Structures are given as C-alpha cells and as structure tokens.
Amino acid sequence: MVLNQGLKLKLKEELKNSIDDQNSARPIEDRDYHKVVKYFYKISNHHELYKTGNSFYNDYRKGLKSFAISSTGDKEAQQRVILGLASYFNHEENLTIAIISDALEKNCFKELYEQSEFFEAQIEGCSKKLILSRYENIFDFYNLSNILKFAGRDKVTLEYEKIISAVIDNYNVLFWDVSSLDAMKSATNVYQALISRFDSLSIIVNASESKACEVEKIRTFFLDYGINLKGLIMDHRKR
Amino acid sequence: MSRVRKFNSLLNDVTILNFPLIGKLLRRYYLISITIPVMAIGVSVYFYSIQNVLYETNVGFSDASTKNLSPTNTIADLVGENQIIIAEEDVLAMRNDWVFNQKLAKKIYKLPDLYSLDFNGVGTRNKISTNILLEKCQHDEECSVRTLLGSLPSLYNIVAEATPGRYRLIVVTLEEKTSKIILREVAKLIEEDRVVYLKNIVDKKIEATEKLIKQQNVDIDADNMMNLSNRQVNLKNQIEEIKNGMRNLSQSIANNKLQFNTLELELAQFNKSKSIGAADSKRVNYEKYVKLNQEVLDLRTNLSLLTQNTAMSEYEKKVVVELEARLQTKLSELEKLGDVSRSVSGIDKFNETQDSKSNYTQKDYNVLREKIKKEQAEYDKTKEELDKLQVEHAEVSRKLDDMKPNTGYLDLLEKKLISLKLLSSTITTDLVVDNIGNNIKIHKNASLSKYLVFATISSIFFIFLLTVIRYLFDQKIYSEDDVKVFFEDLEVIGNTPEFEK
C-alpha cells in the first residue's frame, strides 16, 4: 500500500503502538500526543457513551476492529453513534481510526469533513489514487463512493479487494457507516467484499419508529454473510 | 411467537395483570386513552339528549287473599271451600297476558278521547299520532284493538313491592294525560279481571261437580236400587209372616201331640182294664196306681212340651232335669205297686163302661194322628220356603250394602254443589287497587349520570381492550423491554450519544 509518506509513517507508528498496548490502555498522562477531540466533550449523555463505547472497546481489546453501524433508515443517528464511538476510542487510547461513510457531506460528519485535510493515497497495485480526508490527525474519513469506484460493474476486481484490505490493515479501528439495505441489495456483488470484512454489526433502533421486522430484515441480511449482530443501540431522539 | 411473548408479558404471577406495563402501554398509546373516553362521553351525551321526556305515574294494589282479608275467601271458608290464592307470578304475568291486554285495548278503544292519546313507546324516535296509527283500520274495532295491542303492553308494568302481597302498577308514556288514563283503565281492569277469573274458577268447579253428580247417578242405577230396596222390605215382611205362621203351626203341633199322647195313654189304660179281674182288697192299690199313672202322664206331657223347644234357657234345662227325676221316681213307685189292676173287683162292669169310652178315644186318636202328620208336613214345607226367602233377603241386603258408598259420595257431591253455587254468587275481587292520586313524574328514560357511568365503564373496557390489541399487533420498538420481547437473543448495547449544539 503506497500512501502519502507522512500518513504512512504515522500509520505505521500508531499501528505499532496499538499492537503494543492492545490489551492494556495506557495511563492518560502518558498520552502526551493524544488529541482528544472536542466532540467528545460536546456529548451531553456521557454515561450512555461510556456504556456503549466500553462495549465496543472491550470488543476491540478482544481483537475486533471493523465495526459496522447500521440502522432502520436513520443515517443521522448512524453518524452520531460513529462519531461518538470514535471520540470514545480516541479518548481512551491513541489509535488510528478510520470512518467510512457514503454521506460525509451530511449531518454531523459534514462539519468535521469540511474541516479535514485531504490526501491522496497510492495503493500498490492500483492504477488510481484513493482520496481520504483527515480531521485534526485524529480521524481519517473515507468516502465510500471513492472506494466503490475501484469495484467493477458486475464483479469484484482485485484492485477493489486490495483497496479494502489496505484500508482495513492500516488502521487500528474502523467504523463503517453502513449504506441502506436497498442500496446494498441493488449492488450485492460490490458490497459483498465490504460486508465480509465487518467484524461486528450494530443496529440503531429509533424508539417509536423502528419496527421489529425491519431490524429482523437487516439482521437476516448480514447473517447470510456470516456477520453476527452485536446488539442494538437505542435512539430516543424524535426525527 | 413475539405475540405470545407479548401476551405473557401482560400477565403477572401475583397481580394477574402486569399493571406497570399496562400503565406504560396506556401512555404509549395515549391516543386510544384520549379518543375512547371522548367518544364515549360524546355518544353518551348525544343519546341522553335525544331521549324522549317521559310522564310516569303509578298506583299500588294489594292482594287481599294473602292477608285473609278477601271476602270471597271468607265465604269460601264458611262454606267449606278451599281459599283461592293468587300467586305473585300470576299478578306479574298479567302484563304479558294476551287476553288481559286485549281487554285493555278494547276498553281504551271505547274511550271518547282515544285520538288525543299518545301511544308511542318510550324509546320511539319517530313519533306518530293516534290518528295515523289507527288510520289503516278505518274505524274497524278489531283492527284498531289489534293495533293498540301492539303498543299498550310496553306502556305499563307491574312490579312486586318489598311487602308481600303488595304490587305497583307503573305507567310511562310520552304524554301526561295518556299516562293518567291508561293507569286508571289498567287499575280498573285488574280488579274486574280478577272477579271474572275467580268466578270462572268457581263456575268450572260447579260444572265439574254437576258432571260428577250426573255420572254418579248413572253409575248407581237409581231404579235398580229402588227395586232392590222394595224387594228387601217385601222379603222382610214375608219372612215375618211365615215365621208367625210357623210359630202357630208349631204350637198347634205341640198341643195336638200332647192330646195325642193323652189319648194314647187312655187307650193303653183301656186295654189293660179289660184284662184286669181285680179283687176289692186291691182296689186301693189300684186307685193309687191310677193316680201315679196320671202323674207320670202329666210329667211326660210337660217334658214333651219343654223338649220341643230346641233353644232352651238354663232355667228350662234345670226344670227338665227335675221333671225327669220326678218321672223316674213315679215310674219306680208304679213298678213297686205291680199289676194291681187285676185285683180290682167289679172289673167287668168297669170294662163295659171303659169299652164304650175306648171306641170314642180310638177314633179321636186316629183323627189326631192324621192331623199331626198333616201339620208336620205343612210345617216342613213352610220352613223350606222360609229358608229360600232368607237366602234371597241376604242377597238383596248385600247388594244394597255394596251401593251404600256410592250413595254417600253422591250426597257429598250434592252438598258441594250447593256450597259452590253459594260461593259463586258472592265473589268479589281480591286484588284491591289503592286510590289513584294525581302524581306524575317527568323524567327521561336514563339520567345523564347513568350514561356517564356507562361511558366510563365502557371506556375503561375498550381502552384496555384496544390497548392490548394494539400492543399485540404493534411491530414498533419503543424501549429496551420491547427489544427483549421481540428479540430474546439480542441485547441493547446502549443509547445513541447526543451532541450539544
């Protein structure tokens, strides 16, 4: 994988650190380079974030790193959860975190994405460069459409596989802002390669709006790809 | 499966219903909790407002028979008849009695202000006037009565009061005057109808008794009984007559036998006298002999007379024994004297005298013997006839005895008939209506509070029912509890983070 040189070095360093400290969080005073995002402190219900984040963090310490967040149609909630979890992970430990979404210009990602610095990464064996944006050297945002461009029209290309592997391999933690079920069903071949790389799936359930059958539908869809449902995250915000 | 789990979640082992969950569901489906009571109250108020204004009047009446105050029953007691008591069910059933209502309809139809009355039922929405109601009948009484019969029973009611034997007639119509008139007519009819009913019962009893008497007369066969009775009297007289005749005959036979015995002794004496050639020295013994002989003869005669009577008393038996003892004594004395007659002197002369007497005696003896024979034959024949008559008399008496119970029964029936006729002529009503006042109560069929209570109860029921149904069929996830109900194997990790703006 050939990324921007600076990014490459940083990624390698962070990757090394993360491996060293995989099973024991370092004391906060040691993390001198650690930049705690301001969004972590903008969260009003920290106790909820601690509860949710801790669950994911425990999974991470068990070796899981690719977390998919889906919902019954509430993209905004998906982004809030991803941003919150990313902030939590960043708050707990200095990790390289990637957020892959098909709607970076919308909702709560919008502000961060707009403030991000854009880079182009040349992946080995790939003809095109992959565009990514970095926010405060904390999160790297990937536009899903940029990754999907590497996929063929009817079948998955080797280049596409390489891109996905490179992205996953070069980060400690990845949060996937999962596309709608209809979108994935319309391009099953393309999404199959992505889905198979998910370590766990969590579904956001909007209280009073999400239906059990919708949740069951998403669950069944991912279960067909061997992805187990980690659990549900309740969203009590009114749409 | 999730519905089963949902239903189970509504139940609780201790409180039967899971009240906290139900409370949560009521808040969750608050639209049901608001809409149903509002609708129920709205409907209640609407139905209350469209009710007709009712005019209610009533009057009480008593069953006099229950307090032993009925004049009819007092007379029934006097004449030994059973009291006629009206059952509470019968009084209450009057309202539904077709015949009673038909009589009422006829009375109402004959009222002069019939067409000003209002026969609409209390729940009628589209009221029609009596003119329109009876228009199709065109003043035909039968048709009009039939039409009124369809409306009248719903306008009044008879209810039992707490006091036994007390009832209340309640009339409810849509018009004041109609209520008063119907109350008056029904009250009158209750009294009249009861008299008719009582009279009918007594008349039926009279009819049944008369029928029984007639039947009994046929069963007894009065002519036959009269014949038997006459025959019994005749037989009795005949038997008496024959018995008297036999008694006389028996007396005559006894007398003749006595005379016959005397003659027989005399003849024997004559025969002996002929053979006696007695000396004078033996005359005295001879005279003693004759005297003893005479005494023996007397004793035998007396014994003969006494022994003829088969049914002797104790005294007579003692007399017979004594006479027989005396007879034996005399006979032994005679034996001791021996044959003294031979020693009597002058026997020839004596014999000559005795011969002439002997001829006459022999003749009388023969006549008497024949007479006794004839009388004895006649006696036997009469006795045979008497036996036959006595058998026939016993048979007739038995037949009459057999008829005796039937005649006793007939007597009782005739007495009963008289009692019933007396009772029938003195019947009065035992349902006594109180004085009809002028009280009238104006109200609606059901009060607003009743409607509101009904609305509340039905609201609670329907809220509960619809909430449960809504819950069972609701696929939405509202809370972590719902997640547990829908997905037993899934857990809720937490809630989404909220960012301050």
Cα-flanking dihedrals φ and ψ of residue B165, to 5°? 80, 5
pLDDT in tens, B238-297: 999 999 988 998 888 888 888 888 888 888 877 776 655 445 556 677 778 888 888 888
Tell me the angle at which helices B176-220 and B222-275 cross, rounded to the nearest 10 degrees: 20
Looking at B425-501, list the stretches that DSSP marks H as alpha helix, in order from N- to C-terminal side.
Answer: 448-473, 480-486
Check: CB of residue A102 under 8 Å from CB of residue A177: yes
Contacts with A209 from chain B: Cβ below 8 Å: 476
- Our count of domains for chain B comes to 2
- Structure tokens given for A230: 């980690």
pLDDT in tens, A25-73: 333 333 334 555 666 667 778 888 888 899 999 999 988 989 999 998 8
Mean pLDDT of the B183-194 span: 92
Q: What is the pTM of this model?
A: 0.52
**Is residue A111 within 8 angstroms of chain B, CB to CB?**
no
State the pLDDT confidence band at B8, using cuts at 50, 70 and 90.
Answer: confident
Q: Find the residue in A nearest to B474 (Cα).
A: A211
Check: CB of residue A106 under 8 Å from CB of residue A90: no
Task: Find the CB nearest B496 among A81, A211, A216.
Answer: A81
**Is residue A77 within 8 angstroms of chain B, CB to CB?**
yes
Q: Given this model, what pLDDT does residue A39 score?
A: 67
B408 and B467 in a single domain? The answer is: no
B380 and B272 in a single domain? The answer is: yes
Q: Given this model, what pLDDT does residue B275 score?
A: 59
> Where is the domain boundary, B422, B453, B484?
B422
Task: Find the CB nearest A44 among B480, B483, B498.
Answer: B498
Q: Find the residue in B nearest to A208 (Cα).
A: B478
Q: Report CB contact under 8 Å: A237, B496.
A: yes
Q: Given this model, what pLDDT does residue A11 score?
A: 45
B315 and B365 in a single domain? The answer is: yes
B387 is a domain residue: yes
d(Cα B11, Cα B400) in Å, to the nearest integer? 90
Q: Given this model, what pLDDT does residue A209 score?
A: 87
Q: Given this model, what pLDDT does residue B466 score?
A: 93
**Is residue A230 within 8 angstroms of chain B, CB to CB?**
yes
Q: Given this model, what pLDDT does residue B83 score?
A: 66
Q: Find the residue in A nearest to B2 (Cα).
A: A212
d(Cα B205, Cα A236) in Å, to the nearest integer? 90
d(Cα B317, Cα A40) in Å, to the nearest integer? 159
Q: Report CB contact under 8 Å: A232, B493.
A: yes
Sign for the pseudo-dihedral over CA of A94, A98, A104, A106: negative
Q: Report CB contact under 8 Å: A207, B477.
A: yes
d(Cα B410, Cα B403) in Å, to the nearest integer? 11
* Most confident segment among A82-96, B174-188, B358-372, B473-487: B174-188
B104 is a domain residue: no
Q: Find the residue in A nearest to B488 (Cα).
A: A231
With 90 as the cut, is the pLDDT of residue B86 above it? Answer: no
pLDDT in tens, B399-421: 888 877 777 788 888 888 888 88
Cα-flanking dihedrals φ and ψ of residue B279, to 5°? -85, 165
> Superfamily for A5-21+36-235?
P-loop containing nucleotide triphosphate hydrolases (3.40.50.300)
B88 is a domain residue: no
With 90 as the cut, is the pLDDT of residue B183 above it? Answer: yes
**Is residue A208 within 8 angstroms of chain B, CB to CB?**
yes
Q: How crowded is the C-beta side of B324, counted as CA atoms within 13 Å?
A: 9
Q: Which secondary-structure segment (H or E) carries B172?
A: strand B166-173
Tell me the percentage of chain B whose pLDDT exceeds 90: 29
B328 is a domain residue: yes
Which residues have C-beta within 8 Å of that of residue B12, sequence separation ≥ 6? B18, B19
B346 and B407 in a single domain? The answer is: yes
Tell me the angle at which helices A107-114 and A75-92 cross, rounded to the nearest 10 degrees: 50
**Is residue A236 within 8 angstroms of chain B, CB to CB?**
yes
Q: Strand, helix or coil at B181? A: helix
Task: Find the CB nearest B499 among A108, A229, A235.
Answer: A108
**Is residue A202 within 8 angstroms of chain B, CB to CB?**
yes
Q: Report CB contact under 8 Å: A215, B477.
A: yes
* Enclosing domain of residue B485: 1-51+461-501
Contacts with A77 from chain B: Cβ below 8 Å: 496
Mean pLDDT of the B137-145 span: 89
DSSP A156-191: --HHHHHHHHHHHHT-SEEEEEPPPHHHHHHTHHHH
Q: Report CB contact under 8 Å: B495, A233.
A: yes
For residue A37, the distance in angstroms to the closest alpha carbon of chain B comes to: 13
Q: Report CB contact under 8 Å: B495, A236.
A: yes
Task: Find the CB nearest A233 among B479, B496, B500.
Answer: B496
Q: Report CB contact under 8 Å: A212, B498.
A: no
Selected for mutation to probe chain A from B471, B496, B500 (highest A CB count within 10 Å) is B496
Q: Given this model, what pLDDT does residue B387 score?
A: 92
B389 is a domain residue: yes
Q: Which secondary-structure segment (H or E) carries B399?
A: helix B347-424
With 60 as the cut, is the pLDDT of residue A12 above it? Answer: no
d(Cα B384, Cα B371) in Å, to the nearest integer? 20
Which residues have C-beta within 8 Å of that of residue B456, sequence separation ≥ 6? B37, B40
Instruction: Spell out the long-range contacts of B254-259 with Cβ–Cβ below 8 A and sequence spacing 24 or more.
Output: B254/B304, B254/B305, B254/B308, B256/B368, B256/B371, B256/B372, B256/B375, B257/B304, B257/B308, B257/B372, B258/B301, B258/B304, B258/B305, B259/B368
Q: Given this model, what pLDDT does residue A25 score?
A: 37
pLDDT in tens, B210-234: 888 888 777 777 677 788 888 889 9
The torsion of the CA quartet B36, B41, B42, B48, rounded to 10 degrees, works out to 150
- A-B CB pairs within 8 A amount to 102
State the pLDDT confidence band at A99, using cuts at 50, 70 and 90.
Answer: very high
For residue B128, the distance in angstroms to the closest alpha carbon of chain A comes to: 56
pLDDT in tens, B311-337: 677 888 888 888 889 889 888 888 887
For residue A9, the distance in angstroms to the closest alpha carbon of chain B comes to: 33
Q: Find the residue in A nearest to B3 (Cα).
A: A212
State the pLDDT confidence band at A6, using cuts at 50, 70 and 90.
Answer: very low
pLDDT in tens, A169-223: 888 899 999 988 888 888 888 888 888 889 999 999 998 888 899 999 999 999 8
User: In DSSP terms, which residues pair with B302 in a beta bridge?
Assistant: none
Task: Find the CB nearest B475 among A52, A212, A229.
Answer: A212
B399 is a domain residue: yes
Q: Given this model, what pLDDT does residue B437 score?
A: 81
Contacts with B494 from chain A: Cβ below 8 Å: 48-49, 51-52, 55, 233-234
**Is residue A38 within 8 angstroms of chain B, CB to CB?**
no
Contacts with A212 from chain B: Cβ below 8 Å: 2, 475-477, 482, 486-487
Q: Find the residue in A nearest to B490 (Cα).
A: A231
B385 is a domain residue: yes
> Where is the domain boundary, B422, B452, B482?
B422
Q: Report CB contact under 8 Å: B476, A234.
A: no
Task: Find the CB nearest B496 among A210, A231, A235.
Answer: A235
Q: For residue A135, give the amino acid letter.
A: Y
State the pLDDT confidence band at A109, using cuts at 50, 70 and 90.
Answer: confident
Q: Report CB contact under 8 Å: B496, A80.
A: yes
Q: Out of A118-122, B253-257, B448-452, B481-485, which region has the weakest mean confidence (pLDDT)?
A: A118-122
Q: Out of A77-81, A122-126, B3-7, B206-210, which region has the weakest mean confidence (pLDDT)?
A: A122-126
Q: Report CB contact under 8 Å: A42, B475.
A: no
- Structure tokens given for A72: 């019954």
For residue A136, the distance in angstroms to the closest alpha carbon of chain B comes to: 19
For residue B1, the distance in angstroms to the closest alpha carbon of chain A comes to: 13
**Is residue A175 within 8 angstroms of chain B, CB to CB?**
no
d(Cα A203, Cα B293) in Å, to the nearest integer? 169
Selected for mutation to probe chain B from A58, A175, A232 (highest B CB count within 10 Å) is A232
Task: Find the CB nearest B483 among A43, A51, A232.
Answer: A232
State the pLDDT confidence band at A1, using cuts at 50, 70 and 90.
Answer: very low
With 50 as the cut, is the pLDDT of residue A2 above it? Answer: no
ipTM of the complex in this document: 0.79
Tell me the angle at which helices B347-424 and B71-78 cross, rounded to the nearest 10 degrees: 180
B412 is a domain residue: yes
- Token pair 């009963």 in the structure block, residue: B416
